[in-house]
Structure 1
Amino acid sequence: MEEALELARAKDTKERMAAVERLYHLLEGSRKSLTSSEVTSLVDCCMDLLNDNNFRVSQGALQALASAAVLSGDHLKLHFNALVPAVVERLGDAKQPVRDAARRLLLTLMEVSSPTIIVERAGSYGWTHRSWRVREEFARTVTSAINLFASPELPLQRAILPPILQMLHDSNPGVREAAILCIEEMYMQAGTQFRDELHRHQLPASMVRDINARLEKTEMQVRPSNGMLGGLAAGDRKPVVYNVKKSSPQAKSSSREISLLGGEIDVTEKSIDPIKVYSDKELIREFEKIASTLMPEKDWSIRIAAMQRVEGLVSGGAADYPCFRGLLKQLVGPLSAQLSDRRSSIVKQACHLLCFLSKEFLGEFESCAEMFIPVLFKLVVITVLVIAESADNCIKMMLHNCKVACVLPRIADCAKNDRNAVLRARCCEYALLILEHWPDAPEIQRSADLYEDLIRCCVTDAISGVSMLPINFIL
């Protein structure tokens, strides 16, 4: 990385372009956390490049910072005072790719730190910036944040609604439209209570009529039969509603009120609207689009929406088509790539989808589960607790729902021989799960010697978490 940073300061534009591209790919391909000194060097270099005369250099610097954010831990927070306003300035760049990269970086900073912190810090520059383009793009960034992070982390009344309402008086029509789109998103998340909140601000009657007209159209758009929101692609809005009791007449509105006004809801805890397809060809097109979306270079929020769409298709009856099983196997590679992503929200969504599929298809999902489990082994040892726990729970859920006894030799080998004590302990637990849930499987019957050997190795393991596990086997 040091070499790429040095080349990024070259006088020749082509050398700088090549350097930021190399830097981006190095960070994207790394799973190693950055040190404090590395983060400082990277931020200092990229801050200089943000104002480069060549827009591709500036775009590359923003992309590199987004990739570095997920590797930096708390080190990057020390640079927020300088970094956040610099990124907000790039929202007003003349080139759309730079504006898009700046918006994605702000959303990534929200993911790795706190949406509230970033919105408030960036808002002190963005809400009333002298450039109308910055004001417009920042409003659109906040709209995306509300869609992605709907929770108490984004305090509706205090941090967002007042400046958004002020933008409705902006002299630029693009800013006013961005503001009304943000209000629509708030309404979709918070429900009918949001109208009451609007009334407290004593807006002019003409403005209230205009807002109500837009909100009525929005209300009609959130009830499509195909699982899309108002004809927008899955990457533009996430097609989700929240888990509530269906018997409640206020189910939809009350759940949305909780999301922004009172209780935290995890993205993977949201139930997905069923998506209906009406032919094999239509289903094939759906899966082709999903597979093309689940590429590492695609925006992470779009990939989350694509995985949610798989769940929606299954809920809508797609499994009834003969081609479905073959199409599902084609997603093994793309979904494995999501599991290898460093963003916790991507990994959590992928694990949630695998748990959902294993629960839906049970033994029919066995062949897929066998391919995913070795990939998940790499995650249970990661120091990022959210990722490690998601992977561990996913493996256990698949072992519970699918026999997957064919992976027993691999699990036993890791339990006995892997260098990582955490993985050894986890694999002992997985072996126990297989023994408990599938005692009659032929693979289990043929593996008695393997289990005796496994228990013997566990007893002699120096790690207490591993050596205690054989008691469970015996009991």
Structure 2
Amino acid sequence: MNMSQIDLFSTLIGTTDVKKKISIGSDVISYLQDPSNGIECEDIGCFIEGIIQWLMSSNFKVSLNGLEILGLLVDRMKDDFRPFLQGAITPCVDRLGDTKDSVREKANTLILKCMDKCAPPQQIFERLLPGFGHKSAKVREEVLLLLQTTLNTHSAASLSLSRLVPSIVKLLSDPSAPVRDVAFATLVEVYRHVGDRFKQDLVNKQNVPPSKLPALLSKFDELVQNQQMLPTAMRIDGAKQEDETDRGLSKSAVKRSTSAPPVRRNGQIPTAKPVSGPSTTSQQCATPVASSGSIGAMDESLFIQLFEDVPRIQIFSSKEMEEHMNSIREILSNTNNEWDKRVAALKKFRAILIAGAVNYDEFYQNLRFMEPPLLISVKDLRSLVVREACITIAFLSQQLGHKLNRFSETVLPALIGLIPNSAKVVSTSGIVAIRFIIANTHAPRLIPILTDKMTNKSKEIRKHVCEFLDQLVHAWPTQKMEKYSQQLQEAIRKGIADADLDARASARRAYYGFADHFKDQAAALLNSLDPHNKKALYCDPTQPMSNSSSHSSLNNVGRTPVVKKPSSTSTESLQKIPIPRRPAVPVGLPNGTPSLSARSNSAIELQAVQRSKLRSQQYAAAQRMKIGSGASLREAALFKAEKPFFDLSERGFIINKKIESGNPASRK
């Protein structure tokens, strides 16, 4: 067959002769069932529209052939069939009420196939909504059965059940007894997937007929007792309880006025997951940004709490979704609007996300138009507007994941610019939003944006960029970082040598994560460090190389050997004595405690103590002279770097203890 075969069929399917239609239908089915036959033609849309007309034929064989042909086209075209969904679904709903079982089954199969290959189940059910109120009782029954099949095939997370449940509840009072029974069974099936959250919503918000409610609740309890609930229902309930507990703790933490330092718990951020209805469940958050005593400071737990602190909105069509987004865009684009109006618009944006806006193809096109207004909001002079913008961006990242790559690249520089802001709510909001982006949106182009900031004059920016790099190298897969591994290596090197103490600590942690992905580059980075920074990397108490057992390999990364410190017989004996660290600044002694230099002992004189101190200082100077004359420059530098671990000039009192055991008269 050549490319024009489908065009040839297009000229034949318009015939009014039923027998010819059946014959042509058989030929088309045979043609499409052969994978080697192409479907390219001048106008595939004309061919599909002609086949859709067959679904409305009064002859069941013609309708059956039409459903079979459309199913084969869906298998071939997959996403390319999406523009024809609306035209195909409407007559398909009518065929669900056909008197022939074979036609009903084929229509059901076609709809399920569209869910698998063309569009998400929620989009299909948007087009099936009229079926819940169809004039044919058989159609209403079949749509309910189709919903049960979808729940068991795609799970409750694939549907916005809040928009479907009112129609199901209404069918509990349907004139047809089979429809009422199937509606009852459908509600039970929804509860089996969702759990107690659905039960509470059903009792409090839905107009369930009083005669049906006790039987429903009894059936729900029976499912629980017989352990027939699905794991998704138990997981949702458990996550909700944990979330509520976590939120309760955050509220009490905000009220406290203590100045406790921030606690780092595993450094994890909630990961992305799809929006499944008006009440999404968020995981517990970690890595608080600021202490609870910081007034106005934000952290991940507060962000998660505020994600769903929005008005409830219902969306029933893509047109309605676009109208909402257009109004939000107009409000945010005009900075002359009142700040509280802009805050309300940002909350409304999150509300339409929860309502299922992401299930519409038009959403992503409209999201691109939302980039400039959101950037304006991030740079707004009102701190509350900035906070809501950061919360909205974090929520977008959590829900969309990698689909937010382009937008996250655009907004990241603006978020980094918030870090040095003197307003705590602005600064911490920007930090938390960046953490959500790094956790959920693994866009490789974010890496050079972060690494370029390591040369920024602001130490706050450098410090937090090192924290972001630490999070990134521990959370992202290797393939996402390969292209920019050199930039990561250089940024970590700068961080390890940064003037800020916290930046250096975060950079050292980032080094160990980097070594897990790129061992050779980590070895090169280690060898390029000066002895002081290399020693700090070895002795980091939070990393495995700081173990006292041995300075073994750094995740099998090569390193230069450490030169052993020169020692003599006298120093070796001193090194074996456990010596506590002493502060450089003298610390006041408690009342009644004599100072070390002023103590009196019957076995030792004060002058002998002073002479011993002088000798110890001279001895230490002589040791340094030996290092300078007998060792290489590199060894001397490393010895000097290791000197703080033991300094005889600071440990004069040890010599004094030795003197006490001898005869002081022999040293006069």
TM-score range, shorter chain: 0.3 to 0.5
Max radius of gyration: which structure? 2
Q: What is the TM-score with the length of structure 1 in the denominator?
A: 0.45
Q: What is the TM-score with the length of structure 2 in the denominator?
A: 0.33
